[in-house]
Copies of this chain bind each other. A is one copy, B any other.
């Protein structure tokens, strides 16, 4: 009797899953190819059940695919333009309210930098002369706090908007919806970094009294300013448009400043504004987030869509919006900033949690999704361009396609991954990462203390998929806790 062929022929093994099996064979000199495989949703039985229900219904899958394609098409068709600059009171109907980045949050739970920025904004508005008085107003409800997203707005880092701050009015020309963002304050003592001293207020007044009106005049003279044209060029010039906007900012200067001069703004004022932009490579970031907000708002809302249309954080909580869930956002704790690169003297122990509405950028094929466009920030993900390229390639496994306008020169002009599919995120456990900064939790003067990437928390995506399953009437054995769902009905403009 001869041995069965398996044992007499030369073994050629592909090992899927547990690595120990491959190791045992290798020790016997058998060549093994490792397949990078893991069970869907890491074997979580609830999630596997949800995924099975979804993929088990051909009809449901077709509805999802159609909704996702509609969402995807709306992103690509969007054409956000700056059409005006005006005080938030006028543009957004804001009164006696301070807007902030991220999910709704009580004053007590708010992180240090955002609290400091809220109090600074109240002083800036003249509603209180000092922080204690300002805090009383908040606690008594005489000043309301609200997330930017309820007002169609977005803010970077602490993301504070108060009524007299000038905002960019961005219109999605294709779909007619508007979005808003303040001007970026730059480095040093600034509200977005959670520093609210006299220098901060002086700069806010200059932004209100000089920059706002000058920009308004420039836009009026120029006509609507196409934001994604500049973003697309910036990607050709080393920006990924979240952590780095140096090229976009320089492009904005040369595109817009002639109109500001022709509108009759005083030469010294224009000189001051150009110099401010020269010293603030993040200046264009406000334009990018507002454009992405106007885009993703237009793309949001297709029933059955599993596309993530926003991510947002306030230093304590992280929330996501999914196309098919309407205005019900999913919320949970932010990630610790333990992957960031800290400035000398600081560690993650000093850091506030992940913060800012700017994570919406990553839902639109920019920021982390475009990180290989910015080799100078390769240290965020390992140090080399190869690491960045690998990161982008991994993101391609959780996206529907790529953005036809956003190209990465160091990847031979590959287009950026676009359309984060909740199903794929839950299935693969790959979460999008966000290129961002880190703020000091307790110091009233340190401001930014690091930079790097933050990971979107996987639990929130899990719950969003379960929430969708419930909405679709799938018989799943899991509940979404009430506190994980936030209703963010938009505020109707009253002005």
Contact = CB atoms under 8 A, between A and B. Distances in A.
Interface stretch (A66-74, A98-106, A272-280, A329-337): A272-280
A112 B376 CA distance: 44
B278 A267 contact: no
A420 interface: no
Contacts of A257: 253, 257, 271, 274
A409 interface: yes
Interface residues of A, number: 39
Contacts of A258: 270-272, 274-275, 278
A250 interface: yes
Contacts of A270: 258, 261, 267, 270
Interface in A243-258: 246-247, 249-251, 253-255, 257-258
Interface string A224-257: 0000000000001110000000110111011101
B237 A246 contact: yes
Interface stretch (A25-33, A315-323, A377-385, A450-458): A377-385
Given A237-B247, A258-B272, A271-B258, A412 B278 contact: no
A224 B376 CA distance: 28
Interface in A400-417: 409-413
A238 B410 CA distance: 10
Interface string A335-346: 000000000000
Contacts of A411: 385
Given A261-B267, A383-B412, A254 B274 contact: yes
Contact of A250 (B254, B262, B409): B254
A268 B262 CA distance: 6
A267 B264 contact: yes
Contacts of A267: 261-262, 264-265, 267, 270
A365 interface: no
Contacts of A275: 258
A265 B267 CA distance: 9
A262 B268 CA distance: 6
Given A236-B376, A237-B238, A412-B378, A277 B254 contact: yes
A65 B91 CA distance: 69
A367 interface: no
A447 interface: no
A265 B275 CA distance: 17
A249 B254 CA distance: 9
Given A258-B275, A261-B271, A378-B412, 5 more contacts: A253-B253, A261-B270, A261-B274, A264-B267, A375-B413
20 contacts: A237-B247, A238-B409, A247-B247, A247-B250, A249-B254, A250-B250, A250-B254, A253-B257, A254-B274, A257-B257, A257-B271, A258-B271, A261-B267, A261-B271, A262-B271, A375-B413, A378-B412, A383-B412, A385-B409, A385-B410
The 4 closest A-B pairs by CB, nearest first: A375-B409, A250-B250, A258-B271, A261-B271
